[in-house]
Structure 1
């Protein structure tokens, strides 16, 4: 018998693997948290499958999501990124990756880790929702609004409430698997 998955999970093997192995699984490693923050910010206005298909190109282009390194990118490196057909070539998003890396480090310095900061919003305990249909899941919540507002106050870019909520789902801060999904 085939596993039941959330309805958004298409037949694409990349999507299935992401759904089964990553989406909604709590992440506490700062490098992986930065990876998802960067990928979600580039996803703005696009489909997640587009980003997943380009993920390895992003990994290579952005030095394995090494935020310490990305924080030091100069204009020459940004120009190289804007010429890379393997990633989303959007100047504002490329600039935001550098700005966000710099601010990510500032948050680490203030809280000890980005993990402590971000998971503090949920008292280190994932929120488990009970959606029968994924379509019932909101795009934003009062919590994603609050996190977005705080990130923006700290200088982060491309962190609107919808992006933040998708980030929360990706890193397992919120479990939005449908109740009939085997990952629920």
Structure 2
């Protein structure tokens, strides 16, 4: 069997050797830098109420009615509603969000939802809300939902297209100063 002498003098001698070993072979100091990325955004909701829908029905594919303009994130926007849909998706009601003014060179990045609400304010169970993030690059550019609801499923003469819009600013990266 092996016997270990744990006398205080021996432990102190051993620790002293370890400490002196580390002291003579220390690593150079490590440089630490940091940066932070901050992204700001502005969010708003616009409700485009459509009354007497039956009077719009039959106006033709790719024909639209336009909401009033609304301002979010320093930009003007509007919603187009195609009661008879888009030629790429016949038989559906379509809705699109458009940038009204000029876009900066990098475009305007926006995350938005287009939902069809019934008169009671609840999302229509037969509709397909669109949740999307896109960059609007030119004046008038638009993105939307070709098939927000089948025309045959749309009951009633009044509904709302709700647009939840978040305009995302260009991220800012800054170097953090050391403590």
Q: Shared fold by TM > 0.5?
A: no
Structure 2 length-normalised TM:
0.23
Structure with bigger helix share is 1
Bigger Rg over Cα: 2
Structure 1 length-normalised TM:
0.22
Structure with bigger strand share is 2
Q: Which has the higher contact order (CA 8 A, sep 6+)?
A: 1
